Amino acid sequence: MLVFEFKTYGKTHQYLAIDEAIRTTQFIRNRAIRLWIEGQAKSWIELSRHCALLAKEFPFANKLNSMARQAAAERAWAAISRFYDNCRKGLPGKKGFPAFQKDCRSVEYKTSGWKLAVDRKSITFTDKNGIGKLKLKGTRDLHFYQIDQIKRVRLVKRADGVYVQFCVSVDRKEVVEPSGTAIGLDVGLKEYYTDSNGVTVENPRFLRQGEKALKRSQRQVSRKVKASKNRGKASCVLGKHHLKISRQRKDHAVKLARCVITSNDVVVYEDLRIKHLVKNHSLAKSINDASWYQFRVWLEYFGKVFGRITVAVNPAYTSQECSSCGTIVKKSLSTRTHVCQCGCVLDRDHNAARNILRQGLGTVGHTGTFMLDMSNALGESTSTLVGAILPKQVGS
């Protein structure tokens, strides 16, 4: 599934109609959660039936396209299913009980309720909300795809305007020449990552760079009267600053992940739990600014696209263990050089990256990663325990 995004241009009454459609989507999703809590809907089929009943009961809900109402109920059922899955897995801590949404920013249509122009430069929404025809501006060309390949159309509201997303049903596969190399990555705060060859990538620290402008905009918001137009304008400026930082992080993660995947046949990285790491309030801002999880998501995505092997390994003791002899060398976080009695002297992160690579070569696959036979890449005969996040190591 590919997602193409275009910025839309319309008139004031069209933007008001989009806001109304988004509020209706939020209402239907929250109502579906309420029905599930009260025990009136115990399956997705029952929630889908309630969408038609809501349309009869509330006139504003009837204005939204029927498939858009079902898509809103699907969002509720996705939260419910995730909660059930977390309970079955027995995850420690909170299981993610479905919560009511307070700030919805998108409305999703399926295969009806919209009509794309012949020249693919405008789209018309045909439901009773009165959104009408919107101009599209973007770099993607939709002429390469048939209308029946477009499975979803979303209207997304952001700080700098409204965007239309087209979800196109296409299996993206690209073929590149094998490099015959494997690499281990150790992410950090000083350097964004250090690989098993000793190569480092600088941490861009986008939040730290834009923090001065963010603080200035936040002060402007605080000085305005609540619920006033000036406060709304100041909030929009603040939102644009946050949006810029978010886009910078995504652009950096996409480009870096694609470069790593296309340059190596096997990529091994740490299976980090970010929500546990940010409990350290001294490092929480820097950890969130690094956006390690987003980098991992794009590594796994490009691994599927280019047919590469991506492996997540347990990060425990990768910094303490000597990559040369295997001896545990205790060191604090401030100690940046690994010195072992065997004579191995390496940068702390370089030593960890070598341990990660060695551990990954004996551990194949994790949930969400493109599964391949390691023997194709390593020339070895191995057996795999599929479906585990940290499977048992396999021997050659």
Give residue-wise pLDDT tens across range 130-146.
Answer: 899 999 998 888 888 88
- For residue 65, pLDDT beyond 50: yes
Q: What is the mean pLDDT of residues 248-258?
A: 95
Rounded alpha-carbon distances, angstroms, from residue 171 to 149, 265, 274, 304: 11, 21, 30, 10
Q: Is 125 helix (H, G, I), strand (E, B) or coil?
A: strand
Model confidence at 343, pLDDT cuts 50, 70, 90, reads: confident
- For residues 198 and 194, give the distance between their C-alpha atoms in angstroms, rounded to a whole number: 6
Chain centroid offset of residue 302 CA: 13
Average pLDDT over all residues of the chain: 86
Model confidence at 107, pLDDT cuts 50, 70, 90, reads: very high
- For residues 394 and 360, give the distance between their C-alpha atoms in angstroms, rounded to a whole number: 10
Phi/psi of residue 77, each to 5°?
-70, -30
Show me where the domains of the chain are located: 2-168, 182-378
- For residues 346 and 151, give the distance between their C-alpha atoms in angstroms, rounded to a whole number: 52
- For residues 378 and 357, give the distance between their C-alpha atoms in angstroms, rounded to a whole number: 13
Q: Supply the pTM of this predicted model.
A: 0.82
Q: By mean pLDDT, which of 240-249, 256-265, 300-309, 354-363 is the weakest?
A: 354-363
The 10s digit of each residue's pLDDT in 158-195 is: 999 999 999 999 888 888 888 888 999 999 898 999 99
Q: Which residues pair with 202 in a beta bridge?
A: 191
Helices H / strands E in the chain, number of each? 12, 14
- For residues 81 and 92, give the distance between their C-alpha atoms in angstroms, rounded to a whole number: 17
Model confidence at 337, pLDDT cuts 50, 70, 90, reads: confident
Q: By mean pLDDT, which of 69-78, 177-186, 236-245, 373-382 is the weakest?
A: 373-382
DSSP class of residue 268? E
Q: What is the pLDDT of residue 364?
A: 55
Chain centroid offset of residue 189 CA: 20
Indicate the helix (H) or strand (E) that contains 180: none
- For residues 291 and 129, give the distance between their C-alpha atoms in angstroms, rounded to a whole number: 38
- For residues 188 and 195, give the distance between their C-alpha atoms in angstroms, rounded to a whole number: 11
